[in-house]
Chain A
Amino acid sequence: MDNVLQLAAAFSGSMGFALLFQVRRGKLLLASLGGLLAWAVYLALGPVISSDVPRFFIASVVLTIYGEILARVVKCPATLFLVTAAVPLIPGGSLYHTMRYFVEGDFAACSAQGLNTLLLALAIAAGMIVPTSLFQLIRRIRVWQAKKK
């Protein structure tokens, strides 16, 4: 039940950001589905991997592939899907708790939580980089082949 609620919230949260950034009509739905997909991947990995960092990484890889493929299918910048779909992964809660500990003067808890926030952010970043670089490589190879002919 909790999971269903989270998935629904991830969907509507992504849709909120898509609206905020002026995404229109059909793409609105696709962008929101991206957020749902990212969180679904994270949840599905739960029984297999217990640590958050690799789960965030894989979720980020999947959503980037989703974004890059969609960008080619509907012919628009991949940013549009990446930015909105990555929102549920942004460690806002963790960041808030880090700052909360900091303000309360509990520096041990603050640094532990801060490290966690940083690692999650890095996992998302690393997850985005892998597919993006691959797609770029494929494009370069295609351009190069076209030139050879």
Chain B
Amino acid sequence: MEQRRQSFFSADDANYLARAEAADRANEYLYRVLDIGQYMLQSGAEISRVEDSIRRLCASFGAERIDVLSITSSIVVTIYAPQFGAVTQTRRVAGQQYDLHRLEQLNQLSRRICTQYLSLEETEAALEEIRKTPQYPFGVQLFTYALISASFSLFFGGSVLDAVASGLIGVVLRYLDRIIRSTEANAFLSALICSCLGGLLAALSVKAGLGESVDMISIGNIMLLIPGIPLTNSLRDMFTGNTISGLLRFSEAILLALAIAFGFAAVAALM
């Protein structure tokens, strides 16, 4: 017994060091892989895409067994290979900033890593470049909010005046969104504030003679605020086998949509 124990502890030192070093490297790679997974999730990827990308990336740097679990707010990965043993990392993912362009870039990057076996430094540099890619300037975003509101006000049968009013309210909502974002209020509170103020402005603009129907103005703004990406993604998640995430995201999106419609309708009924 004593002898066995000794042989266990007097393992070949060089071998042990090599293994520890390999584990260190694996940890560093895994950290980058989780960065990619996190950014993907935040910019609006479906769960299956995130898990699939992580699996491929880990396989590309030599992991033999990869167990990934991702839900909407967390990623857990354990990889195993004889050279470095089992390595686990988890990542809490908070805050979403939908950006389909970034998602596309991340997707390309992960393909590139898998086919060209980028080094750690190259991966880092590419990630930094993606992080630095500018979003559309604030002016374009204001225009976007107005465009969406006005289009859907017309789409659902509003007059041209309604569309103009809805567009203007859309611009106000963009400013409001910026203020609320800076206070880091939760999504429901911010949706309620936005929708109540939107409803109020819609009612006021009809009273002031700009716009004819409170309903049509509000509908344009509702379409703007409704969580479209989570809704479509949650359905795709559920039917690709990621039921937990699908349900999580689905109920979140439905509650948000209800809160938004409620805010507008409540103000419209009160005025």
Contact surface of A with B, Cβ cutoff 8 Å? 5-6, 9-10, 12-13, 15-24, 76-77, 79-80, 82-83, 86-88, 90, 92-93, 95-100, 102-104, 121, 125, 128-129, 132-133, 136
Contacts and interface: CB of A to CB of B under 8 A. Distances in A.
A9 B148 CA distance: 9
A79 B262 contact: no
The 4 closest A-B pairs by CB, nearest first: A16-B148, A13-B151, A99-B265, A9-B155
Interface of B: 44-46, 49, 98-104, 107, 135-136, 140-141, 143-145, 147-148, 150-152, 154-156, 215, 218-219, 222-223, 226, 228-229, 231-233, 235-236, 239-240, 257-258, 261-262, 264-266, 268-269
Q: Chain B contact residues: over half helix, strand or loop, or mixed?
A: helix
A35 B104 CA distance: 20
A19 B147 contact: yes
A21 B258 CA distance: 22
A46 B154 CA distance: 20
A92 B223 contact: yes
Contacts of B98: 20-22
Given A13-B151, A79-B232, A100-B215, A92 B100 contact: no
Contacts of A5: 154
Contact of A133 (B155, B222, B239, B268): B239
Contacts of A90: 223, 226, 228, 231
A128 B236 contact: yes
